[in-house]
Amino acid sequence: MIYIVFDLEWNMASGRYEEVGKPRVAKRFAHDTGKKIPSFEIFQIGAVSINENLEILDRFNTKIRPQIYPKINKYVERLTKIDCATLYKAPVFIQAVRNFYYWIWQQLPTQEQEKIAAVQHLSLETVENWDFVALQQALAQAEILFGTWSTSDAPPLISNLNYYDLCGILPANFVDIQRLYDLFSGDTAGTHSVKSAIEHLNIMVQEGYHDALNDAEYTVLIFQALLPALKLAAWDFASLPLPARYLANLHLVETLAHDAQELQAENSTLNSDKLSLPVLSESELMTDKRTITAWMGALNMHASTYRNQEEKKEKHRQLVKQQSYARCFCLNNIDEYLEQRINLLQPEDLSTFISSLSYNPNAGKNKAHNGQYTLVEKGDNE
């Protein structure tokens, strides 16, 4: 799994609302093309790629030449301290976003690139010449997850892609790192900005805020700081045993510990005691209906046990999610002994848990419902 944590800076129409930072679109549709005009025009993309252990791999940064709102809104200019001269020397959106997608492709392991290219009938030798659609389709097959601070970056990206006829379907699910911070940091101060989270976690600040690359890097640092608490939740999500005193401290329901012990016992039984079926001769198979009935009964019992096991695993995962939303797995609950144990967690188990908290912006299901996000599988565009 590769995480692409990115941030966008955007401009908007100037006018009477500019002092409070609210968008104003004078013309909802362009006269010449009839296209819907985006409320926000992206003028910078900053991104950081990290691996399954949340270690930084690479960085990406590009400015974008304005084409929709050539005048920089005073509120945006004051907030971002953007250099207008630099913007007008930058590539246009179509080229900039293609460069962004190409950079994401380069973050993938060579083996994964070869596999995807074979499935998509694309040549790796000509990857620099792939058009935007080909890159988008290739990335949709990759093991990537986008990370942003809040859910506010996906809609402007989709609207800008649509405006330039680039098919505004994003190729990966998103994880809201602001939401992860709310759940796992133990900070109950309310709505959190990147700056307030950085200050709460005592992370050293060297560059200013409201620069896309700087904000993306700060978001990664927050993500990394949450790693022990995320591992704790992922450990329990994978049905790995936790000491009873920690289960009590996390205020988990009593049945959770009981189910975990029971599930562990069933796992060891299924792994050690393989299903032993009667050894039947050809004549017995033909004549002894009672033996055949017993054999089929044993097989059905095994299947039923497996189904029950899977149901309990799913029930356990849902309980862990509920406890996550109840803010029981947080940095305040981690001590040295527990951190040593959860550091044995496999990276793929951590990725599975984080992916379970992701959302699909293409499906229009990125709104929170009762404090929880609708969970959708990658590629679900219904």
298 Cβ neighbours under 8 A, 6+ residues apart = 275, 277
358 assigned to some structural domain: yes
Specify the number of domains making up the chain. 2
CA angle at 120 for the pair 119 and 124, rounded to the nearest 5°? 100
Q: Strands, DSSP E only, in the chain?
A: 2-11, 41-50, 56-63, 144-148, 174-176, 368-369, 372-373
- Do 179 and 41 lie in a common domain? yes
User: Residue 291 CB: number of other CB atoms within 10 A?
Assistant: 13
348 assigned to some structural domain: no
49 assigned to some structural domain: yes
207 assigned to some structural domain: yes
Q: How far is the C-alpha of 193 from the C-alpha of 59, rounded, in Å?
A: 22
Q: How far is the C-alpha of 63 from the C-alpha of 332, rounded, in Å?
A: 39
Cα separations in angstroms, 328 against 178, 186, 320, 332: 17, 9, 9, 9
347 assigned to some structural domain: no
pLDDT for 256: 45
- Do 182 and 263 lie in a common domain? no
The total number of residues written for the chain in this structure = 382
- Do 191 and 289 lie in a common domain? no
- Mean of the per-residue pLDDT values of the chain: 81
- Do 213 and 289 lie in a common domain? no
- Do 58 and 172 lie in a common domain? yes
- Do 171 and 277 lie in a common domain? no
Nearest one of 218, 238, 225 to 347, comparing CA atoms: 238
Mean pLDDT across 302-316: 73
End-to-end CA distance of the chain: 24
Residue 263 belongs to domain spanning: 239-334
Residue 252, phi then psi, degrees to nearest 5: -75, 155
Nearest one of 373, 370, 359, 377 to 154, comparing CA atoms: 359
The residues that bridge with 8 in the sheet, in sequence order, are 45
27 — pLDDT class (breaks 50, 70, 90): low
- Do 30 and 153 lie in a common domain? yes
pLDDT digits (tens, 9 = 90+) for 116-126: 999 999 999 99
pLDDT digits (tens, 9 = 90+) for 200-257: 999 998 878 889 999 999 999 999 999 999 999 999 899 888 777 776 666 544 444 4
- Do 54 and 138 lie in a common domain? yes
Residue type, 180: L
Dihedral (CA of 47, 49, 53, 55) sign? negative
pLDDT digits (tens, 9 = 90+) for 29-48: 665 666 788 889 999 999 99
230 assigned to some structural domain: no
pTM confidence score: 0.79
Are the beta carbons of 224 and 54 closer than 8 angstroms?
A: yes
Helices (H), 46-193: 74-80, 84-87, 93-107, 110-119, 132-140, 154-163, 177-184
233 assigned to some structural domain: no
149 — pLDDT class (breaks 50, 70, 90): very high
Are the beta carbons of 29 and 36 closer than 8 angstroms?
A: yes
